[in-house]
Amino acid sequence: MAYKFDFGAIVPHWELLLDGVVLTTELTVIGAVVGVSLGTLGAWARASRAPVISQIVGIYVELIRNTPFLVQLFFIFFGLPALGVKLSEFQAAVLAMIVNLGAYSTEIIRAGILAIPKGQIEAAQSLAMNRVQIFRYVIIRPALKKIWPALSSQIVIVMLGSSVCSQIAAEELTFAANYIQAVNFRAFEVYFVATALYLAMSVLLRWVLKIFGNFLFERRSHV
Amino acid sequence: MSLVELHAIHKSFGELEVLKGIDLKIEEGQVIALIGKSGSGKSTLLRTINGLETINDGTIMVAGKKVGDRDTDVLTLRLNVGMVFQQFNLFPHYTALENVMLSPQVVKKQSKAEAKEVAEEMLAKVGLADKMMHYPDQLSGGQQQRVAIARALAMKPRVLLCDEVTSALDPELVNEVLAVVRQLAEEGMTLVMVTHEMRFAREVCDKLVFMDQGRIHESGAPEEVFANPKTSELASFVGGLA
Ligand SMILES: Nc1ncnc2c1ncn2[C@@H]1O[C@H](COP(=O)(O)OP(=O)(O)OP(=O)(O)O)[C@@H](O)[C@H]1O
Ligand SMILES: [Mg+2]
């Protein structure tokens, strides 16, 4: 083989890679927190019997789940300015991730809500709780607990999907890798390292989500 | 004025008319047993009393107030009417104590200390003072049902509805729950219970209501009703039990 590996060629660019990792992490954290919150609201709307709002959310979910993330991102970044909404690369990337995760997590969380036995909701109704109280105290925690593994996987998928944001020059990890290999022509080494970094971030993220889930659903008295 | 008055209640599920004009008065302190064949509409009737089922026609008055179908009405109604279910329906993520404290805190806005005091009192009353920190899946069926009763009582309802509260229990656990219900009856709690425990109904209830095909066929003092069934439906129901 003629190719001589030279991982040393990446070293001068380590700060770029680090910046990329940081930005990917920021995108993921904001996207996950806001996206899952949006998904929780969406799931509530879907599960409630308010027909109009439930249908609107349903359309949103189908729209997002049946179109590519890249196109959603382009629409937000290149399309919205036509309506006077001009976002920075970072803002557009984060919004696209929120909107995307919001749709997927709506469906995931909805499944968790539907798995709550009807009797528990009727018991709560019989105790004179209103809808908001029932959702907050009776439904959401057991529902999230049931679907936490699926939701965690979806968050990881969205984190990996953020690599697509390099396409609008959001300077996340893939953007950094693309940039570096364009200057040093060390495609193998650069993408090898980028792959390893994504892998490490995924493993770490899964671990963090697991710990967080344990904390959320742990049995501890609130009295 | 009776505590609860049902007048000409009609209820259909689609084409199926399940309640065909029910009139029933429940007096303060009365203990009523609803009996009848499976599918006769007992649960549906009970569930209309606290608004879990909407009605198609008729009026429901609780504590002198007519219950419309506005949300606020229903919530006020439910403050007066507690319910216990066949399947216990405890909240799995809360301890026994938290199950009982939840609604007084969030609905009645009681302080934690206040809610805790009431909850401890109610759990002690149903004989579970030593299980307060247990989660539902750490309790037997009978214990879970007693927590469910304590949970309903903590809201201080004027009337308690019990829908076959022992039907999901292993036979050896039935008595501990019936004992609690009996104690409530003796303390003067207004109770409406759907039950298949005829002996218990006969001993504890003031009034027996026999339903068949969505109608109240007969009602009266248990001894009377059992001894002299006036309709063939009740006669065959009683006969079927023997
Ligand atoms: N949500 C519902 N939708 C459609 N039909 C229903 C519904 N709930 C009850 N029914 C029907 O209404 C009828 C009366 O049911 P209900 O549960 O009130 O009877 P029940 O007297 O409590 O019977 P059981 O002793 O078996 O509990 C039955 O034919 C039942 O199938
Ligand atoms: Mg029933």
Domains of chain B: 4-241 (3.40.50.300)
Distances (CA, A) of A160 to A103, A165, A195, B25, B106: 17, 10, 10, 65, 41
Retrieve residue A143's tokens.
């529902």
Buried b (16+ CB within 10 A) or exposed e, A37-74: ebbbebbbbbbeeeeeeeeebeebbeebeeeebeebbb
Give the three-state DSSP class for B159.
strand
- Cα–Cα distance list, B128 to A144, A194, A219, B116, B125 (Å): 30, 59, 20, 14, 7
B173-218 pLDDT tens trace: 999 999 999 999 999 999 999 999 889 999 999 999 999 999 999 9
Residue nearest to atom 26 of ligand 1 (CA): B38
CA distance A78 to chain B (A): 46
Q: What global pTM score does this model have?
A: 0.91
CB contact under 8 A, B155 and A128: yes
Rounded Cα distance between A6 and B144, Å, is 67
> Do the Cβ atoms of B217 and B21 come closer than 8 Å?
no
Distance, CA of A48 to CA of A109 (rounded, Å): 13
Nearest chain B Cα distance for residue A131, angstroms: 10
Q: How many residues does chain B have?
A: 242
CATH superfamily ID and name for A9-221: MetI-like (1.10.3720.10)
pLDDT of residue B57: 94
Phi, psi of A164 (to 5 degrees): -65, -25
Q: How many CA atoms lie within 13 A of A103 on its CB side?
A: 20
Ligand 1 pocket: which of B11, B43, B48, B213 to mutate (most atoms within 8 A of CB) = B43
Which of B71, B85, B93 is closest, CB to CB, to A119?
Answer: B85
For a substitution probing ligand 1, which of B13, B49, B83, B193 has the most ligand atoms within 8 Å of its CB? Answer: B13
Is A122 close to B89, i.e. CB distance below 8 A?
yes
**Token representation of residue B17:** 């008319």
Closest C-alpha to ligand 1, atom 6? B13
- Give the minimum alpha-carbon distance from A127 to chain B in angstroms, rounded to a whole number: 6
**Of the residues B15, B16, B211, which should be mutated to test ligand 1's pocket, given the most ligand atoms within 8 Å of the CB?**
B16
Alpha-carbon span B114 to B109, nearest angstrom: 10
Q: CB of B72 closer than 6 A to ligand 1?
A: no
Question: Is there an atom of ligand 1 within 6 Å of B41 CB?
Answer: yes
Q: Tell me which DSSP letter residue B220 carries.
A: E
How does pLDDT run across A36-64, given as a tens digit for each residue?
Answer: 999 999 999 998 878 899 999 999 999 99
Interface of A with B in 123-152 (CB under 8 A): 123-130, 133, 137-138, 141-142, 145
ipTM for the predicted complex = 0.94
Cross-chain residue pair B75–A128, CB shorter than 8 Å: yes
A122, B85: Cβ pair inside 8 Å? yes
3-class SS of residue B38: coil
User: Cα–Cα–Cα angle for A210, A214, A219, nearest 5°?
Assistant: 170
The answer to whether A122 faces chain B, any CB pair under 8 Å, is yes
β-bridge pairing B31-36 and B190-194: parallel
- A117 vs B contacts (CB less than 8 Å): 87, 89
Atom of ligand 1 nearest to the CA of B46: 18
Closest ligand (CA of B42): 1
Q: Do A223 and B98 touch (CB under 8 A)?
A: yes
Q: Is the CB of B48 under 6 A from ligand 1?
A: no
Chain A partners of B155 at a C-beta cutoff of 8 Å? 127-128
* B81, β-bridge pairs: B159
The pLDDT tens digits along chain A (223 residues) read 688 899 998 999 999 999 999 999 999 999 999 999 999 999 999 988 788 999 999 999 999 999 999 999 999 999 999 999 999 999 999 999 999 999 999 999 999 999 999 999 999 999 999 999 999 999 999 999 999 999 999 999 999 999 999 999 899 999 999 999 999 999 999 999 999 999 999 999 999 999 999 999 988 765 5
Q: Where are the beta strands (DSSP E) in B63-214?
A: 65-66, 81-84, 159-163, 190-194, 207-212
Q: How far is CA B72 from CA A131, B51, B57, B68, in A?
A: 12, 11, 19, 9
